[in-house]
Amino acid sequence: MDGSFSFIHAADLHLDSPFRGYTRIDFADEKTRENVLRQLRDCTYNALDNIVEACLVHRVDFLVLAGDIYDLADRSLRAQLRFRDALGRLAGAGVAVFVAYGNHDHGAGWRAELAWPDNVCIFPAGEVAARPVVRRGREVARVYGISYPRREVAENYARLFRREPDAPFAVAVLHCNVGGLSLHANYAPCTLEELAGAGFDYWALGHVHGRSVLKAHSPCVVYPGNPQGRNPRETGNRGCYLVRVGPGGGVNMQFIETDSVRWERVQVPIDGLGTEQELLERLVDRLSRLQQIHAGRSVVARLELAGRGPLHRRLQHAGALEGMLEELRYRFAGPAGPFVWPESIRPNTAAPVDKESLRENETLLGDLLAISREARGGGEMRDRLRQALAPLHSRAARHLNPPGEEEFNALLEAAEDLALDLLWEDEDI
């Protein structure tokens, strides 16, 4: 293969995501509330604009979008028009665009009849098609892809991909679940071994929202993750991959951030704190750091209180955390510009206590703590507690996996703390 070229690989834009749970925001004046809601409404579109801008700045030859362009199968007209117009900007720069639809925007959903720019190739539903990338009269790459005809695709679409012998550099675009990842619906299931042995140079994957390079070369197998986080589970920087291919076919990948609103989970210990004022100062410090780290970008933060201390009992009083949340929102969000928005304050704290002494007491609480200690050591008690959980997991097998050893110990710890809150009386606190 002669010459070098470059492309950008993105997936899971989920344009026009509804951001359920954020349509109503408390503890803010009208202008501040509208600023926060507007940025949430527009952030997926901003990510699309940032992807297009990256294509133009880096002068790539083509853009690959691996599924779930839209959040809904019955995609909104606004989302379709914004998407078409964004790709039109690339047409003016001679950047080809290859689109595969996934389970969220499958072919059975409603779509408007729109005239797409000539630079756009939308792969057909249920069958693999191949399209060349031509630069200065020479084919530098060939892009293969397939779209979903319906939401639930149980077939292994990877087996439908066949590289043609004369393809110079072969890119395969597939929305799928590699290796049966349990946190994602098992659509178009396949294995890494199947992808590695299929003869392609780069697998441009979508569906998994966490960024992951499953194989770094020969071939590259890549999930870029979604370009914009959409809930507290999708924390950290989000974006796409800039892929540069050298004259000999060598691949260099560079991650580019595209998110305009970032989600973070911040754990704040209460150890050593005795008053609400001290806790407020610590929370302000944590949010100020977020503001500095993500300067120029808005942040939605879930604050999680942890640890043991005398403040634990005071935080149980009704309204204690709601008032603190209101104050933090007042300080860190305004009517314009980037904001830090505390989404919630979630207490996972415990009272200061010497558990070992309490275990020796001949009380109901002491007996419960002793049982927990025995279960930590393994043996019959641990087995009996696991058996007690078994019916729960059998009834909710689709949503719950049996806990591993560390997770089981964490559940025991949480049960001890709950027992302390419910059963322990200490007049000094």
Mean pLDDT of all residues belonging to the chain: 89
% of the chain residues with pLDDT over 70 = 93
Least confident of 65-69, 82-86, 262-266, 359-363: 359-363
Q: Is the pLDDT of residue 57 over 60?
A: yes
Domain boundary assignment for the chain: 5-257, 261-352, 358-429
412, two tokens: 């025991």
**How far is Cα 237 from Cα 257, in angstroms, rounded to an integer?**
6
Instruction: Give the CA distances from residue 339 to residues 39, 235, 394, in Å, rounded to whole numbers and listed in that order.
Output: 9, 16, 43
Burial of 380 (0-12, 13-18, 19+ CB in 10 A): exposed
Report H helices in 61-181.
Answer: 77-92
Residue from 317, 332, 330, 323 nearest 286 by CA: 332
| Dihedral sign from CA coordinates of 328, 332, 333, 338 | negative
Q: Which of 110-119, 154-163, 304-313 has the highest mean pLDDT?
A: 154-163
Burial of 149 (0-12, 13-18, 19+ CB in 10 A): middle
Q: For residues 401 and 32, which has the higher predicted lDDT (pLDDT)?
A: 32
- Reported as a single tens digit per residue, the pLDDT across 173-220 is 999 999 887 777 889 999 999 999 999 999 999 999 999 999 999 999
pLDDT of 1 reads: 46
CA 65 to chain centre: 17
* DSSP, residue by residue, 40-61: HHHHHHHHHHHHHHHHHHTT-S
**Strands 261-269 and 298-308, how do they pair?**
parallel
CA 302 to chain centre: 15
pLDDT of 429 reads: 35
pTM to 2 decimals?
0.82
What is the dotted CATH code of the domain comprising 5-257?
3.60.21.10
Q: Is the pLDDT of residue 66 over 50?
A: yes
- Reported as a single tens digit per residue, the pLDDT across 328-345 is 999 999 999 999 999 999
Which residue's entry shows tokens 């790539």?
60
pLDDT of 114 reads: 87
Q: For residues 8 and 24, which has the higher predicted lDDT (pLDDT)?
A: 8
Q: For residues 361 and 152, which has the higher predicted lDDT (pLDDT)?
A: 152
pLDDT of 263 reads: 95
**How far is Cα 301 from Cα 327, in angstroms, rounded to an integer?**
14
CA-CA-CA-CA dihedral for 19, 21, 27, 31, to nearest 10: 30
pLDDT of 378 reads: 78
* pLDDT category of residue 426 using cuts at 50, 70 and 90: low
Residues 6 or more apart whose CB falls under 8 angstroms from that of 420 comprise: 350, 351, 353, 355, 358, 365
Angular region, 203: left φ>0, alpha ψ -120 to 50, beta rest: beta
Least confident of 244-253, 318-327, 346-355: 346-355
Q: For residues 52 and 135, which has the higher predicted lDDT (pLDDT)?
A: 52
Residue from 36, 44, 35 nearest 11 by CA: 44
- Integer-rounded Cα radius of gyration of the chain: 26
pLDDT of 36 reads: 92
Q: Is the pLDDT of residue 17 over 80?
A: yes
Give the containing element (helix H, strand E) for 174: strand 170-175
63: three-class secondary structure by DSSP: strand
- Reported as a single tens digit per residue, the pLDDT across 104-150 is 888 888 888 888 999 999 999 999 999 999 988 899 999 999 999 99
pLDDT of 15 reads: 92
Residues 6 or more apart whose CB falls under 8 angstroms from that of 53 comprise: none
DSSP 125: B
User: What one-letter code names the amino acid at 365?
Assistant: L
Residue from 10, 103, 20, 101 nearest 58 by CA: 10
157, two tokens: 């679409």
